Structure 1
Amino acid sequence: MRTRTVQDEAIDALVTPVAAALDMEIVRIRVKSGKKQTVQIMAENSDGTMDVEHCAKLSRALSDVLEEQDPISGEYNLEVSSPGIDRPLTAPAHFERWAGFKAKLELDRLVEGRKKFTGMLAGFEDNSVLIDLPNEDETALIPFEWIADAKLVMTDELIKADLATRQPSDNSGDTP
């Protein structure tokens, strides 16, 4: 899910150590074709935040490595961004971190006649995503390797949680 193609994986191998040295995690890599290819890299700091300055810092560091190693044939644009509020979930830790929030999962195979599931994340256990699905009494366990795509669903609760992380942590009473 973090990568889809061999080219994505080659780029991932180059950029992950660079991001780690900056205390950042690569969330997803996609190379989009077109007249000029676009290398999209989503990343976040270890605390889950990512602002414009961090994107610029990572972009500069990745540009140097990508220019030197040249894993992309032809010209390309490098696009570094945060995962956003309705972020993709691409690693087991993401399912743990976002437990209690609504998510959409798309599988690479049919399960009970369907590939798409939406429900409340309940964590990650034994290489499986735990998700509470509507009209089901028990928590479903979906093997992580079956997931082709996963992302959070925009809800009021998610917006509130996102806003809470953006609030200044200094509660010294200095309010405007």
Structure 2
Amino acid sequence: MQESQIVALIEPILSAHGLELDRLDVTPIGKRSVLRVTVDGDGPDGHGPLLDDIAEASSAISAALDASPAVGSAPYTLEVSTRGVSKPLTEAKHFRRNAGRLAKVWVGEEQSIGRIVGVDGETLTLDVDGEQRELALPTIDKAVVQVEMNRAAAEDEEN
């Protein structure tokens, strides 16, 4: 399997579905391979792709791969998914798409946990206990979304 050919084949398909290729992994497992396509995108509300978007793109990718010599004659399994919340936020678009979510951010030895307010150019605005902090994206060593199990319930009680 030629990864560069696969990328060239699937990127236009993803683009047509409003998605972008985040990562492609081809893992040989015995006589077959697993093609893991990780996608990202704004989605209709700017917070990432919807499940329907991914399902439609997955069907189109599968059909294109079946008709292309890029995967060769060996059997393969196609997996199409999003980055998920466990992946580190590394680019401005990742922070923008997670606006409103709680994130843990490391700058050097300092850790901050706060809600992502937004991104303006190369500056992240983070609400840490009611205080707005601006962080230059290039200075951020690591950032991950924090999963909040009770946030929706807490917001419902406030209204």
Shorter-chain TM-score bucket reads 0.5 to 0.7
Q: CA deviation at 1:92?
A: 2.6
Q: Which residue of 2 aligns with 1:28?
A: 22
The residue type equivalent to 2:148 in the other structure is T
Write out per-residue CA displacement over residues 90-129 of structure 1, whole angstroms, 9 at most, x where no aligned residue: 65334224323212457xxxx4347x76432232123243
TM-score, normalised via structure 2 length: 0.58
* CA distance in 2: counterparts of 1:43 and 1:137, whole angstroms: 27
Q: CA deviation at 1:73?
A: 10
Q: Mapping of 1:80-95 within 5 angstroms? A: 80-84=80-84, 86=85, 88=87, 89=89, 91-95=91-95
Q: Does 1:154 align with 2:147?
A: yes
The residue type equivalent to 2:23 in the other structure is I
* CA distance in 2: counterparts of 1:152 and 1:44, whole angstroms: 17
Label 1:91 to 1:137 Cα distance change in 2 as closer, same or farther (>3 A): closer
Find the residue that maps to 1:120 and give its secondary structure: strand
Identity of aligned residues (%): 25
Aligned-residue CA RMSD (Å): 4.2
Write out per-residue CA displacement over residues 13-59 of structure 1, whole angstroms, 9 at most, x where no aligned residue: 5423212223x2236324153523332333467314523x5433211
Q: Does 1:56 align with 2:55?
A: yes
TM-score, normalised via structure 1 length: 0.54
Task: Answer yes or no: is the 8 Å Cα contact 1:117–1:133 preserved in 2.
Answer: yes
* CA distance in 1: counterparts of 2:144 and 2:76, whole angstroms: 26
Task: Answer yes or no: is the 8 Å Cα contact 1:87–1:151 preserved in 2.
Answer: yes
- Corresponding residue to 2:117 among 117, 122, 143: 122
Q: Which residue of 1 aligns with 2:157?
A: none
